[in-house]
Amino acid sequence: MMAERWVKRAALGAWLLLAGCGASSSREARVAGDFSGRRGCTASQVKIKQERGGFAVSGCGWKDRYDCFSDGCQLADAPVLPPSADAPRPRRVTELRLQIGLGAADGLLLTATPEEGENAELALDSYPQRDCGLDVMIDGQLLELAEGSARWSRVLPRDVVLELGAAQQVAVRACDHRWSLSREDLLQIRRFARRYAEELAWREPARKGSTGGHRPPTGGWQPWQAAAAFPGATASVELTGAQLFQKLAPSVWRVESQLESGSSQGSAVAVTKSTLVTNCHVVAGALKIVLRQAKLEVTAKLKASDPAKDRCVLEVVDAQLVPVAGVRPYVDLKVGEALYTLGAPSGLELTLANGILSALREDEGVRYVQTSAPISPGSSGGGLFDARGNLVGVTTLVFVGKEHLNQSLNFAIAAEMFWSP
């Protein structure tokens, strides 16, 4: 079965910023010092060569590449060579640090020690008026944060650090001074957040199953947790298209997954007052998951996931959802009955379309509802409903064939799969 996936992917790698580098010789010394500290080499073992845009560094069985910019040098994605058998083991990473210059004498210091706790700290690094507090704004929202180790520092909980990884705008204020971080600064913060999430992930227990070829969102794929009680179907009368839309519209949301580069669109269906079902490929690689419905905007988190079967559950905290009225069991579905899709194809929110149930199929342990009702990019994660407003499936994929034509061969994961182990 050929599925058309609409997921943007971004590279993930280890990162370290070496700020405050001045002349080339100073940068070279800092790079060499960082390399020897991380790899456990002595100074005499380190060999460094300047290359275009950075340095190639080797020693005691390791070889790394550092890329340099106007404000510092950073470690490239991964070591090129593995360590030799007798090479010293690299030291454990105990603290993540990022320095950001705000001006001639001002700067920010972002630190975290994931091995000791989830909180990070943001502090004014060299601000002269240290009797002032520090205010932080992310994407136009002023945050209420606890005071850190000093008055001019703030504690950043896990959720805030991960939110920084998707931020389009970050600004700070101290007394009457305000700074808005540059695009390059935001890129550094995103890398910090990615490394932070990676270090936290090492603390989590290993999960069963594959990734299904999908890159996990920030925070990783959460273990699958099937709902305890299947909601059952509503026995209301069949509705007209207009009545059906009015009944279903409050339960279907457009999903925007904010990625390292741009964003991707999908859909989700509310099944309780705080949870929604969707496809995992809709949120793959997401730094932040945002639900939209008309002028409403709600931030969601991944609650449960089974990427191998492309089923994910999202959760909201700061909003109350309108769940669907009922869910039809797979065995009760009949070929030929009328079905309706409701989602956000191509980002066109709350698009209703109709068709019939074409076939009931199963592939690799997943039950599918085949339908002639249209499914397009952006429909993924949306709802497939019967004429009474019951959820019968989560729209997932389109079979296009070798001619790359969609001949109304559309598939939804059977809704009851989201209540199955």
For residue 128, what pLDDT is reported? 55
Contact 350, 383 (CB under 8 A): no
For residue 168, what pLDDT is reported? 86
For residue 210, what pLDDT is reported? 81
For residue 405, what pLDDT is reported? 54
Average pLDDT, the chain: 83
For residue 20, what pLDDT is reported? 30
Q: How distant, in Å, are the alpha carbons of 75, 98, 264, 280, 419 from that of 212?
A: 30, 34, 18, 9, 19
For residue 104, what pLDDT is reported? 63
Confidence check: pLDDT of 85 > 60: no
For residue 18, what pLDDT is reported? 32
Lowest mean pLDDT segment, chosen from 34-48, 178-192, 317-331, 392-406: 392-406
Confidence check: pLDDT of 337 > 90: yes
Confidence check: pLDDT of 298 > 80: yes
Amino acid, single-letter form, for residue 243: Q
Confidence check: pLDDT of 270 > 60: yes
For residue 333, what pLDDT is reported? 97
Note if the pTM is more than 0.85.
no
- Give pLDDT tens digits for 210-221: 888 888 898 889
Backbone angles phi, psi at 414, to 5 degrees: -55, 135
What is the sign of the dihedral through the CA atoms of 79, 84, 88 and 92? positive
Lowest mean pLDDT segment, chosen from 72-81, 277-286, 349-358: 72-81
For residue 150, what pLDDT is reported? 83
For residue 61, what pLDDT is reported? 75
Nearest alpha-carbon partner for 391 in 326, 323, 310, 321: 326
Mean pLDDT of 353-357: 96
For residue 106, what pLDDT is reported? 74
d(CA 120, CA 147): 12
Contact 48, 36 (CB under 8 A): no
Q: Return all residues near 274 (Cβ < 8 A) that are at least 6 apart.
A: 315, 316, 317, 320, 321
For residue 92, what pLDDT is reported? 54
For residue 262, what pLDDT is reported? 79
d(CA 349, CA 290): 14
- Give pLDDT tens digits for 61-84: 778 888 776 557 777 754 444 445
Task: Note the CATH architecture for domain 214-421.
Answer: Beta Barrel (2.40)
* Strongest mean pLDDT among 92-101, 222-231, 297-306: 297-306
User: Between 375 and 176, where is the model more confident?
Assistant: 375
For residue 77, what pLDDT is reported? 54
For residue 102, what pLDDT is reported? 81
- For the chain, the structural domain boundaries read 17-201, 214-421
Share of the chain above pLDDT 70, in %: 85
Q: Return all residues near 101 (Cβ < 8 A) that are at least 6 apart.
A: 19, 20, 71, 107
Q: Tell me the three-class secondary structure of the chain, residue by residue.
A: CCCCCCCCCCCCCCCCEEECCCCHHHHHHHHHHHHHHHHCCCHHHCEEEEECCEEEEEECCEEEEEEEECCEEEECCCCCECCCCCCCCCCCCCCEEEEEECCCCCEEEEEECCCCCCCEEEEECCCCCCCCCCEEEECCEECCCCECCCCCEEEECHHHHHHHCCCCCEEEEECCEEEECCHHHHHHHHHHHHHHHHHHHCCCCCCCCCCCCCCCCCCCCCCCCCCCCCCCCCCCCCCCHHHHHHHHHHHEEEEEEECCCCEEEEEEEECCCCEEEECHHHHCCCCEEEEEECCEEEEEEEEEEEHHHCEEEEEECCCCCCCCCEECCHHHCCCCCEEEEEECHHHCCCEEEEEEEEEEEEECCEEEEEECCCCCCCCCCCEEEECCCEEEEEEEEECCCCCCCCCCCEEEEEHHHHHCC
User: Between 343 and 402, where is the model more confident?
Assistant: 343
